[in-house]
Amino acid sequence: MAAKEKEKEKKEGGEDLAAPESIFVNRELSWLAFNLRVLQEAADPAVPLLERLKFLMIYQSNLAEFYRVRIGIMTHRAILTPDKADPLSGMLPEATIAEVLRVTREQQALMESIWKSIREELRANGADVLDFKKISKVDELMSKKLFGDIRDLLDPRIIDINQALPFLWSGETYIIAFLGRGTEQKLCILPLNRVPAYLSFEIDGCQKIVLTAPLVRHFLPLLLKKENVLQSAIVEVTRNADVFLSDVQDHADDDLRQKVSTMLTKRKREMPVRVRIYGKLTDPARALLLKKLRVPESRVFTQNVPFDLSFRSCIGGPAGLRYEERRPARDIGLKKGEYFSYIEKHDLLMSFPFQSMMPFVDLIYEAADDPEVLSIKITLYRMSGSSKIAAALAYAADKGKDVLCLLELRARFDEQNNIDYSEMLEDAGCRVIYGLPEHKVHSKLCVITRQHGGNLSRITQVGTGNYNEVTGEQYTDLSLITAREEAGLDAEAAFAALVNGEIPPEAHCLWIAPLSFKPRLMELLDREIARGEKGRVAIKANALNNVEVMEKLIECSQAGVKVELFIRGICSLRPGVPGMTENITVSSVVGRWLEHSRIYSFGEGEDQRLFIGSGDMLNRNLERRVEAFMEAVTPDTREQLNRVLDALRNDREKSRRMLPDGSYVRDEGGEGTSSQEALYRYFSARKVSAAEPEAEPQPVSVPQKAETPAPAEKPRGFRAWLRSVIS
């Protein structure tokens, strides 16, 4: 390979993995390679300027969560099991952390360069982010006035240099200043949680954006008039979020909501895993600060990129600074009152964000108003701040339906939101349960049960993403709805087990993890292995690191099976390795929307089996979570899923290929091939009609008989909360 090509691959991938000893890639380093692909979108001149700024925001946000969770976990492992190596890469915990820190610093250099470029382009487009190192007199006068406006909101705390540092909350921004005269030294700690992240004013048609942290730091002598400010910096601490319920169960009562609340309090006070500093401190001052924070120098990052880039939302300018508007299609051709009659004859597939999530909300309202509906059961993992789906469920409970909501209170960083919703839904008359002690319920599963005379029928929905209208416009996800009775029976059996605090039983039509997902996946991979060179596997998922699955995929490749993996994030399997994975390709799409849907395809033509569901090929999804998958069996739904896979195959604009050494490259000349744009055009134009002819019956498997659901209980009223949300 030419030296120029090798250099290009190294720049794209980050980790130098030439001549690998293992065919597997360390999970943490694979994730960093994904976040690098996000950062590279911020550097792409083909991406509109403000969208590049957004990718820079996403990169920083992703990295903060990565340190809170994954480096938090690795830090615990380094303390508790320091000699236990990663089974994929053979790296010990401390070695993994050291390599993560090295790669992060390497990426920071690119981040700094991108920010400098974006800042210059913003200035050229009439949006000047003020730099207090070189500020004009006019800008300084206006900034001083803004400082006066927020001065009363600032609450500095001054301590002796030998005192312990006040607690710094994770993710919050502080100004830390060293004060003194002669030998007397003091520290000032100034939290900025009470002031906005940015302010702005306009001069001669130019928008001046004033970031509050640098503003306060610049005018700190005006706030501390009696003190001599020697030096100062902007500081943010990232704390370990790897806190589990088992850590707090001995200190809480039997109420799970209280246990989770206790866990959230404990999480806020965990040990630091990273410190970011904006501004230069002398070596002695820096060393003293880190000693007080009890953080080693290796965990500290000094950067010139602002911690908070949310000022993006206040910038106007021409339309070309943003993506062309792409609103979800609001109407699939059905109206409230038509969903049941349509779904009884046709399976319905919806694709977000190209289509709106509101048809599913309408389906819940239709169920609420249908006198034949007995119950609605649903699993809820993450919901929006003002959830229309929660309002529809509460409305159904008020209309006398038995509404069972399983809220997973351990959805990381959404715990408090789910605690609040559990209380609201209970107040509305819903039955609320909280999942299983050892398994998170991550499935996106809903079943609506109706009674026609003496017969029961069910409508079942399985999704790849959360019941969340906000992320429904930001993530690519799929939702499949069917009236197939065997799917409904499997769903009912799953809910019956969850109500009793049990793992859902082996399913027949659906795949329900942990008992049904991995075995069915392995069986279908074995089916393709038996077909040899005629075998075909195509999987779209967010992550892959399970050793057994990867070993089975290696078997597929060695048998001549063509394996296509469309993995957005972590992929711990190297493709194209001679004798091992030469028949496997891996690609990753990072674009306007977050790729989040999961599709599992086995075979081709009439023998093709196609599934969608909530789980990736990570250890946690296969073994420690409750996930739900459904097969697409009708010609229409199968055709739509194959459209998604074809669009991914043809993407040369936003897709990057993984090379045998683990690095990623983007093919040249791919303009106009974006899979997301192609799928937007396809799905946003799709319509269905209540008057469509009846679908041909599909062959079904023989389901295991599930218990008849219990009769609905009369719920309480849903209070002012529901009325306010509906209004």
pLDDT of residue 232: 97
Average pLDDT over residues 272-276: 95
Give residues with Cβ within 8 angstroms of 227, minimum separation 6: 158, 179, 186, 188, 221
Q: Structural domain boundaries of the chain?
A: 21-125, 133-308, 339-503+706-726, 511-684
Residue 362 to residue 338: CA distance in whole angstroms = 10
Residue 148 to residue 215: CA distance in whole angstroms = 11
Residue 506 to residue 680: CA distance in whole angstroms = 37
| Res. 692 pLDDT band, cuts 50 70 90 | low
pLDDT above 50: residue 714: no
Residue 318 preceded by cis peptide, ω within 30: no
Buried b (16+ CB within 10 A) or exposed e, 236-246: bbbbbbbbeee
pLDDT of residue 44: 96
Q: What is the pLDDT of residues 481-503, one digit of tens each?
A: 999 999 999 999 999 999 999 99
| Res. 385 pLDDT band, cuts 50 70 90 | confident
pLDDT above 50: residue 193: yes
pLDDT of residue 422: 79
- Better-predicted residue by pLDDT, 683 or 1: 683
Q: What is the pLDDT of residues 591-633, one digit of tens each?
A: 999 999 999 999 999 999 999 999 999 999 999 999 999 999 9
For 633, the 3-state DSSP assignment is coil
Angle at 421 between CA 417 and CA 427, to 5 degrees: 155
pLDDT of residue 265: 55
Whether 467 contacts 628, CB under 8 Å:
no
Helix, strand, coil shares of the chain, percent, nearest 5, are 40, 20, 40
Residue 335 to residue 318: CA distance in whole angstroms = 37
CA 493 to chain centre: 29
Do domains 339-503+706-726 and 511-684 share one topology? The answer is: yes
Whether 556 contacts 583, CB under 8 Å:
yes
Write the CA distances from 15 to 18, 33, 138, 260, integer angstroms.
9, 7, 47, 38
76 flagged as catalytic: no
Strands 599-602 and 536-541: antiparallel
Give residues with Cβ within 8 angstroms of 523, minimum separation 6: none
pLDDT above 70: residue 710: no
Highest mean pLDDT of the ranges 21-30, 80-89, 609-618: 609-618
| Res. 261 pLDDT band, cuts 50 70 90 | low
Residue 292 to residue 237: CA distance in whole angstroms = 12
- CATH architecture of the domain with range 511-684: 2-Layer Sandwich (3.30)
Q: What is the longest distance spanned by two Cα atoms in the chain? A: 91
Q: What token pair was written down for 130?
A: 């003020």
Q: Does the structural domain 21-125 have CATH classification 1.20.58.310?
A: yes
pLDDT above 80: residue 586: yes
Q: What is the pLDDT of residues 447-468, one digit of tens each?
A: 999 998 889 999 999 999 989 8
pLDDT above 50: residue 119: yes
| Res. 713 pLDDT band, cuts 50 70 90 | very low
In which residue are the tokens 């700094």 written? 112
pLDDT above 50: residue 245: no
pLDDT above 70: residue 260: no
Whether 240 contacts 285, CB under 8 Å:
no
Closest by CA to 419, choosing from 259, 265, 643, 293, is 259
Classify residue 534 as left (phi > 0), alpha (psi -120 to 50) or beta: alpha
Classify residue 576 as left (phi > 0), alpha (psi -120 to 50) or beta: left
Q: What is the pLDDT of residues 500-558, one digit of tens each?
A: 999 999 998 999 999 999 999 999 999 999 999 999 999 999 999 999 999 999 999 99
| Res. 717 pLDDT band, cuts 50 70 90 | very low
pLDDT, the chain, mean: 88
pLDDT of residue 175: 98
Q: Looking at domain 133-308, what is its CATH homologous superfamily?
A: Polyphosphate kinase middle domain (3.30.1840.10)
Residue 578 to residue 569: CA distance in whole angstroms = 24
Average pLDDT over residues 159-185: 92
pLDDT of residue 120: 97
Give residues with Cβ within 8 angstroms of 283, minimum separation 6: none
SS (H, E, C) 658-690: ECCCCCEEECCCCCCCCHHHHHHHHHHCCCCCC
For 151, the 3-state DSSP assignment is helix
* Catalytic member of 218, 442, 508, 596: 442
| Res. 183 pLDDT band, cuts 50 70 90 | confident
SS (H, E, C) 115-143: HHHHHHHHHHCCEEECCCCCCCHHHHHHH
pLDDT above 60: residue 699: no
Ranking 7-21, 642-656, 673-687 by mean pLDDT, the lowest is 7-21
Whether 476 contacts 596, CB under 8 Å:
yes
The radius of gyration of the chain from alpha carbons, rounded to an integer in Å, stands at 27
CA 106 to chain centre: 24
Which residues does residue 344 pair with via DSSP β-bridges, in sequence order?
none
The matching CATH number, chosen from 3.40.50.620, 3.90.550.10, 1.10.10.1150, 3.30.870.10, for 339-503+706-726 is 3.30.870.10
Average pLDDT over residues 301-327: 93
pLDDT above 80: residue 253: no
Residue 452 to residue 344: CA distance in whole angstroms = 13
Q: How far apart are the first and last CA of the chain?
A: 64
pLDDT of residue 249: 40
pLDDT above 90: residue 567: yes
Residue 416 to residue 339: CA distance in whole angstroms = 34
